[in-house]
Amino acid sequence: MYINENISIELLHSKYSEELFALTESNRAYLRKWLPWLDFNNTVQDTEKFIESTITQYQNGLGPQYAVFYDDKICGVNGFHRIDKINKIGILGYWLGESYTGKRIISLTTRKLLNIGFIEYKLNKVEIRCASENYKSRAIPERLGFKYEATLRQCEFLYDKYVDHAAYSLLSIEYDLLESDPVNSLK
């Protein structure tokens, strides 16, 4: 799916297993600061199992997860961790390899995912949660007009300590207003 001349997203597929694992492996020290799953992803087969789980999630109507590409190279993942169909809430998560940060990649792909969530899945609310001290990650929902809701205390165990999460949300009605305002356009 085309985002701009440099950025695209494609549903995660097993054909990306080796490339995604290589990206994870080469960024392991960088990613370890904020992502708790690295100790469970030690082989290409582990990455393939993760991708298979995202395919099942998508097939069950619980939201897509995308491989993110920059100049035709896989650079990260962005997608719905889950969708609560009853309450119409989607929870987004994302990560990038270190050399790809600062290029608006996650801002632009998340904007596309908001469109998918609110239009295709008819969500009422999209949430993003990230470690309170992960200021680069927090900048994404802040830039996209999300509202800060709360600090969730010690809600994630990150290898040797608990970290707080900052919880952000955007409602469907807020998204409609954001989309109709050309000043807020990231395009």
For residue 64, the domain's CATH number is: 3.40.630.30
Is the pLDDT at 143 greater than 70? The verdict is yes
Strand 147-157 and strand 125-131: the pairing is unpaired
Question: 160 lies in a domain?
Answer: yes
pLDDT band at 176 (very low <50, low <70, confident <90, very high): confident
pLDDT digits (tens, 9 = 90+) for 85-108: 999 999 999 999 999 999 999 999
How many whole angstroms separate alpha carbon 1 and alpha carbon 24? 22
Question: 1 lies in a domain?
Answer: no
pLDDT digits (tens, 9 = 90+) for 1-32: 999 999 999 999 999 999 999 999 999 999 99
Is the pLDDT at 172 greater than 60? The verdict is yes
Question: 145 lies in a domain?
Answer: yes
Instruction: Give the residue among 57, 77, 53, 81 at the shortest CA–CA distance from 67.
Output: 77
Question: 120 lies in a domain?
Answer: yes
